[in-house]
Structure 1
């Protein structure tokens, strides 16, 4: 649930058929050479929904939810932090509340924990763009710096994974919001998100809580 790209399948609301798959082999791993064990897993959902406008919103964390996690660390493919570290790479820059922050180690690995991601799916098969985003701790009004993006604001340097990210964001009419700082255990947060979903605007404010 921490990795935003893998989360979408796990919170998919209308699965007609779900099946997991695991593939293993031995081959080259970037940065490590040849002869390493490699594993891929997949959890596909099959659904009849196709639309050019939002069908249903799925927010995570959802309004009123008590989420058991407060951080994101490690590596995910596609890389969710690349557009945050390289904001001039996408066709349109991601929404950043503060420039010059460090989001990963430069190789796509989050070694110093950042905040638990917020995601939106609308199930419109269109391009998406975040226009504004805020994540605020209600106890003191502290705003957590965010990096937020849709399909038009995404990029990463590996073409195959870049294409996967584009397909996911466009297929689900989805956007991702990454808070820079770990969320505070026990705190309540308010999220404001404004995005362009295809040719339409989507806007919402909601709250969730982090378990203590």
Structure 2
């Protein structure tokens, strides 16, 4: 996540160079996440730690993915070249590159991803209601298994959409909420998949709670998006 035009690049956020290997990026991410973890002494004393961890997660979400990293590097280098080519006293362009990237991200990422998430998040309750008729019924369990497979496919589509373009820095809050929503959904589907194996209701309750939290994060993303003036 993050465009090539923010004041601090993803590489600077993680404290690595553009030539850093995937292993070096992973080590830097783990070190910073541990340092800024909400339970750490630093996070408890520093109110900005929560925003810092969002930046770290956003940076790693892009740099860990080879395709997203290549696109980010391309935009970052293009941005640096553009800045060097501008006269010192030149006025800013009428339509900024940030605005163009923001429009593209909303059209190609946020809008279709938000629609897909809405459909996915609304689908669990009817499935649980159907299963509650007889959780041990083989046909109902088979239908529930097929539902989980369909959800996994939709989640993979959503994750692919999310990685399609790096988000502009002005939409960092929106992207961060969506990032966590996708993570919660991934955990939810894994949790729900355990129920047919041992019939423990706790898997259903935990999965439902993770869906609920993902819905809240999607709502927060929408609220953050509504505050952005295009």
TM-score, normalised via structure 1 length: 0.25
Structure number with bigger Rg: 2
TM-score, normalised via structure 2 length: 0.23
Q: If each structure's strand is expressed as a fraction of its own residues, which one has the higher value?
A: 1
